[in-house]
Chain A
Amino acid sequence: MIKEEASLSLRTPVDERPVRIVSAQQSVVSQFKSIWETRELLRHLVFSEIKIKYKASKLGVVWSMFNPALTLAIYYLVFHIIVNNGVPQFVIFLSAGLLVWNFVINSVSTSTGIVVDRAGIVKKVAFPREILAFSTIGTSLVYFGIQLGVTALYMVIVHQAPIWSMLWILPISLLALCLICGAIGLFLSAVNVYMRDTRHFVDVFLMLWFWLTPIVYSYQHTVATKLHSHVLLGIHLNDIFFINPVTPIVMTFQKVLYAHAYVRATTPDHSILNMLPNWSEGSYVTMNLILVGVGAAALLVALKIFGRLEGNFAEEL
């Protein structure tokens, strides 16, 4: 009896308990609040995802390196050996871009399907569904970290230093990348519930997107020089490249990791290649801060749309 009374008094008085309201409309503030409250679930989802993926394999998480390494090897073979673009340290130039791109492709293509793939829990357990899309950002970050580590190791081996003084811009750039991919992934994950072949379109679109991003070619060397003279409605065609938010992020990584704006080609003529634009450190910072702002705005819009669409998830799945 005493025990019962004790436990009775342990209950929080009704008037002091947190209040939650379920209704058709949900404000972005309450979305943020519930996401923040379930951040531990986010962490568990990220690590369980990685654990499941590599649990049964002997090499474990090493496999996550296999795909990016092969991609890198193929592009190196095609563009450096076969086409002979003459770029010295082309592996580092490629790595800088692929690091970013692998993040984009991992997070966007996985989160597009994630609500449908996790239909079991979406239909039965109440938690902020936004967490699902965000968990793919988390897993992509882990893979990004591993690849960054391997790239750093390679740079140590070949004695290539990054621009140390600009290293601090990379976290800002990464934040912008997370916000942008989070917004896109969140939006697509909701749309895919209603139109199931969205993910196939996304796969095709990602392919196109890849080639429109200066990863295997240099923006400065290829795009800027060839398109600058073309003007359409008062806009230099090369500026259109910056509609693609991944372009400035890739270029920031290339700047910091590849470091050299002008390099001597490895081709027999030893011509000078202008691989990177000659922008000041300040303009890189500004560019990335603008991107963070754009990403945050996009995320807000995506949250709003997601909030509208999620009401019917459980019945559409």
Chain B
Amino acid sequence: MTAVIEVSEVNKRFRIHHERSKSLKERIIHPGQGSYSDVQALRDVNFSVGTQETVGIIGRNGSGKSTLLKCICGVLKPTSGQILIRGTLAGLLELGAGFQHELSGRDNVYLSGSMLGLSTKTIDRLFDSIVEFSELEKFIDTEVKFYSSGMYLRLAFSVAVNVDPDILVIDEILAVGDERFATKCIDRIGQFQKEGRTILLVSHSADMIRGLCHRAVVLDQGQVIADGPTGDSIRVFRERMLADAPKPIEEAASAGSATIEAVTTPSGRFNILSGQRLQLNVDLVAHHGFDGHFMMEMFSTEGKLVTRTDPMMNSVSFSPGPHRITVDLPEVPLTDGDYDINLGLVGPDGYEVLAWREQVAKLQVTYNGRGAGWMAMPIEVSVN
């Protein structure tokens, strides 16, 4: 398969200047370089994206994911290496970035549309559908500076999604706007996927990546540390986050307080009938004595979060040494499907992760009823 985006051996160095002399005058008065340090934002990054693929890039703040995205869009140029792009690319690094506040909505549609690479003729043709999508018919000739931030984003997004690129590159923008708007964005991305476009998505939200992407690339300190199916990559990402969590002064509450060794069921199988009881035995070794809470998550195969337990409930307390936690789910009301189980321990504040395992088990649920959704919720109906 021919790759649509080929990133090969890309390096990017930034020069951070300390007490930078930003002016010609100062440079003449104080010749010499001044002090600076180089920061390697990307280190030998290699990966490629095929057609019809939706690939997520995850990483912590400062891991280089936005730099990589900017290089792919062409806003930044790599220090060395090259990026090959086949087809038209629309980069949505920020919604409404090309807007001029003094101009009307109409003028801005044309200006930002042409900035995204549309010809005037194409914008003429798309104009009505852009306006319709934005629901701003009445205000299209009003200057953008009088728009509310919601209207502003709506117009910007309408322009962006009506561009017809082969490759769409999105940076965190789905996080903006109200819930209805966010849903609209995600629906549109789903449609883009069906149309066979390539989508590259950057986020630090593992849940969003899980929901949309087939594949994920994990960046850490400018390097690719994982590139594979979304679930696997997210596991690497979470484990790296855990490994690098800042260690408090007291050893007692540090990350890696315990190691989760195995998760089993008394029957040895992970398939149940809907509504049945599920028991899990979690074997772990506590490296020292500590208190905390037990937590569990379930994800559907599409990567949607089905349930996550309250991090302030299910208190547990350990002395150093091996332990077995018995988890009892008296009734699992899930419908047909496979569910990934993540579990672990968080600190007494319910925030700090002490031990975590992603996808320790895959639960298979068989549901014989005709109900739909994730849950087969038992209800009682009576007629008076």
Contacts and interface: CB of A to CB of B under 8 A. Distances in A.
A126 B112 CA distance: 11
Given A14-B2, A125-B91, A311 B76 contact: yes
Interface residues of B, number: 51
A195 B29 CA distance: 13
B81 interface: yes
Given A123-B75, A125-B75, A125-B115, A21 B83 contact: yes
Nearest to B1: A14
B85 A40 contact: no
B24 A195 contact: yes
Interface string A289-317: 00000000000000000000011101100
Contacts of A314: 70, 75-76
Interface in B4-38: 4, 14, 22-25, 27
Interface string B59-84: 00000000000111111111111111
Contact of A7 (B71, B77, B82, B195): B195
Interface string A19-58: 1111110100000000001101101110010011001100
B87 interface: yes
A85 B4 CA distance: 70
A8 B196 contact: yes
A220 interface: no
Interface in B321-362: none
Interface stretch (B93-101, B130-138, B226-234, B299-307): B93-101
A121 B97 CA distance: 6
Contact of B22 (A4, A20, A43, A195): A195
A52 B100 contact: yes
Contact of B103 (A23, A51, A315): A51
B194 interface: yes
B94 A48 contact: no
Interface string B148-162: 000000000000000
Contact of A197 (B25, B51, B81, B110): B25
A198 interface: yes
Nearest to A120: B97
A25 to B, nearest CB: 9
Contact of A22 (B4, B14, B74, B115): B74
Contacts of A195: 22-24, 27
Contacts, number: 132
A51 B107 contact: yes
A126 B73 contact: yes
B97 A11 contact: no
Contacts of A26: 77
B162 to A, nearest CB: 14
Contacts of B27: 195
B77 A22 contact: yes
A12 B87 contact: yes
A114 B223 CA distance: 35
B166 A17 contact: yes
A125 B98 CA distance: 7
Interface residues of A, number: 46
Contact of B120 (A40, A197, A198, A201): A40
A14 B120 contact: no
A14 B86 contact: yes
Contact of A311 (B23, B77, B110, B120): B77
A52 B84 CA distance: 37
Contacts of A22: 71-72, 74, 77-78, 82-83, 85
A44 B70 contact: no
B189 interface: no
A230 interface: no
Interface string A241-253: 0000000000000
Given A11-B197, A125-B93, A23 B24 contact: no
A282 interface: no
Contact of B91 (A8, A17, A126): A126
A41 B115 contact: yes
Nearest to A34: B74
A124 interface: yes
Contacts of B310: none
A18 interface: yes
B2 A24 contact: no
Contacts of A196: 22-23
Nearest to A128: B74
A237 to B, nearest CB: 29
Interface of A: 4, 7-8, 11-12, 14-15, 17-24, 26, 37-38, 40-41, 43-45, 48, 51-52, 55-56, 120-127, 195-198, 201, 310-312, 314-315
Given A195-B22, A197-B23, 11 more contacts: A11-B51, A19-B84, A19-B85, A22-B71, A23-B78, A55-B103, A122-B75, A125-B115, A125-B116, A126-B75, A195-B24
Closest 9 CB pairs of A and B: A124-B97, A311-B77, A17-B87, A23-B82, A126-B74, A197-B23, A22-B83, A41-B114, A195-B24
20 contacts: A11-B166, A12-B87, A12-B166, A17-B88, A19-B86, A21-B83, A22-B74, A23-B83, A24-B79, A51-B102, A52-B100, A121-B97, A125-B91, A126-B74, A127-B115, A196-B22, A197-B23, A197-B24, A197-B25, A310-B77
